[in-house]
Structure 1
Amino acid sequence: MQKFLSVLFISVFCNLYYAQNAKKILPCYDLSQVVKVKPTPIYKPHLDASKSFGIQLLKDSKTVQKYINNGKFRKIKKSGKGYRVQKLNYSRAYMVSKAKATLEKMAARFSKETKGHTFTVSSMTRTLEDQCRLRRVNSNASLGISSHNYGNSFDISYIRFNDVLKYNPKMEAALEKVLQYYANAGRIYYIKERQQSCYHITVRNY
C-alpha cells in the first residue's frame, strides 16, 4: 500500500509539474534569441523581400491558419506542369499568391525548355516551430529567422528531376537558366545551397 501511494504521489507530482511548466517547455524556440541572429549579407535581401508582403512572422500553426482563412495563403498542388512537390515533413504547401504564381510560371517555363521534364520542390512555408523541429535532424537549418517564415520562399532540388534522385547536369543547367531569367527580371532572389542540394528561392514583391 505504501509503495502504491508513493507511485501515485510521484505520478501526480509529475503531472502537476509538466502542466505548470508546459508554457516554459513549448514552443521549442526562444524568440528573443531567434531575432538576435543577424542574416548574412547574401541572405539579407531574401528577408527584406519576405517582410514586404505584410505577413507576420509565422510562429506556429495558428498563425499559418489565420492567413489561410483570410485568403492570403494559397494552397500549392502536389504537382503541376513542370513541377512536383515532395513529401513535406518540415514545411507546409501554402504560400502568398505571388509566390504560388511565380512557382507555377517558372515550372511551366522549365517544362517548355526541357520538353516536358519536371523539377522537385523540396520545401515551402515554415513556422518557427517547424524550423526548430528541422534543426533537430539538420544542424544546417537556420538558427535565426528564415525567409521561409513569411510564406514567399521555396526550395527546388538540383539533384531530383522527374521524381528521380540522381545528379543530372543537363537538367540542373536548364533549371538555373530559368532561375537566372527570373532573377534578372527582378522577380526573385535565389541562392544555391551546397549542403541541402537545393536552390533557395525568394519571390520579390515586384
Structure 2
Amino acid sequence: MKKFLFLIAASFIHGSYYSQATKKTIPCYDLSAVLKVEPTSLYKPHLDASRSFGIKILHNSKTVSKYVSNGKFHKIKKSGKGYRVQKLDYSRPWMVSKAKATLEKIGARFSKETKGHTFTVSSVTRTLEDQCRLRKVNTNASLGISSHNYGNSFDISYIRFNDVVKYNPKMEAALEKVLKYYANSGMIYYIKEKQQSCYHITVRNY
C-alpha cells in the first residue's frame, strides 16, 4: 500500500527520467549504450508498465509497421470527444488498443467535466530514431529508453486547450482532476513535465 501511494504521489511532480550527466555523455545513436541507461525511480513504473504489453522496443518505421500489420497498433484519430492531436513531427499516431481506449476515455471525461472543451495531445508513439531526431532540437528528450518507445504513452499539453496556446489554470485543473481519477483507478501513471508544459501519461495493462 505504501509503495502504491508513493507512486501516485510521485506522479504529481516533475523529475528527470535520466540524469543530465548521462544525457550529455552518451550519443543517442549508440543503441547498446542507450539500453544500459538506468531510469529514475520515478520513471521506472512507466517502463515496467510499457513492457507488460508484449511490445518490443520500437527501433524504426519497420518495427512500427510490423505491429500495425499484425493488429497490435491502432490508429489514433486526429480528433475525438474532448481531445485534438497536434501535428506530430517526432512521433506517430499509433498505440496499443488499451492506450487508444484510455485516451478516448480521458477525453470523454474531460469533455464532460468542462462542458465540451478539448485538450491537445502533443506526442504519441516514438521510435528510437524519432527520439534521436527529437534530441537534436530538444536536449530534454529522454536519451534512455522511453515509454513512448512501446506504444502505450502519450503527452497532453497543459497550456493548449481548444486549439489555443494560452495558460488556462481552470482547464489545467480540470485536466489534472481527470488524470488523478484514472491514476487512482490504477489505469495510468502520469508525470507533470515542467520544461515541456505537458503531462506524460503511460497506460497500464489493467
**Superposition TM-score tier, normalisation by shorter sequence:** 0.7 to 0.9
Name the CA distance, whole Å, in 2 between partners of 1:131 and 1:54.
21
> How big is the shift at 1:135?
0.1
SS of residue matched to 1:195? coil
User: For each residue in 1:121-179, what CA deviation from the matched residue of structure 2 results, as whole angstroms up to 9, or x when unmatched?
Assistant: 00000000000000000000001000000000000000000000000000000000000
Partner of 2:191: 191
Partner of 1:138: 138
Deviation beyond 3 Å, 4+ runs, structure 1: none
Partner of 2:75: 75
Q: Is 1:120 the equivalent of 2:139?
A: no
Report matched runs for 1:1-206 at 5 Å: 29-206=29-206
Name the CA distance, whole Å, in 1 between partners of 2:34 and 2:127.
12
Q: What is the root-mean-square deviation in Å for CA atoms of aligned residues?
A: 1.0
TM-score (norm 2): 0.86
Name the CA distance, whole Å, in 1 between partners of 2:39 and 2:194.
18
Name the CA distance, whole Å, in 2 between partners of 1:96 and 1:30.
27
Name the CA distance, whole Å, in 2 between partners of 1:43 and 1:120.
23
Higher relative contact order (CA 8 A, sep 6+): 2
Name the CA distance, whole Å, in 1 between partners of 2:74 and 2:29.
26
SS of residue matched to 1:116? coil
TM-score (norm 1): 0.86
> How big is the shift at 1:75?
0.1
Name the CA distance, whole Å, in 2 between partners of 1:30 and 1:70.
29
Amino acid of the residue matched to residue 152 of structure 1?
A: N
Mark the structure with the bigger radius of gyration: 1
> How big is the shift at 1:29?
1.3
Partner of 1:9: none
SS of residue matched to 2:199? strand
Unaligned 5+ runs, structure 2: 1-27
Question: How many residue pairs are counted as aligned between the two chains?
Answer: 180
Amino acid of the residue matched to residue 50 of structure 1?
A: S
> How big is the shift at 1:30?
1.4
Name the CA distance, whole Å, in 2 between partners of 1:186 and 1:105.
14
Name the CA distance, whole Å, in 2 between partners of 1:31 and 1:139.
17
Partner of 2:7: none
> How big is the shift at 1:42?
0.4
Amino acid of the residue matched to residue 144 of structure 2?
A: G
% same residue: 85
Bigger mean CA deviation after superposition, 156-165 or 33-42: 33-42
Partner of 1:21: none
> How big is the shift at 1:36?
1.3
SS of residue matched to 2:50? helix
Name the CA distance, whole Å, in 2 between partners of 1:167 and 1:36.
38
Bigger mean CA deviation after superposition, 30-39 or 165-174: 30-39
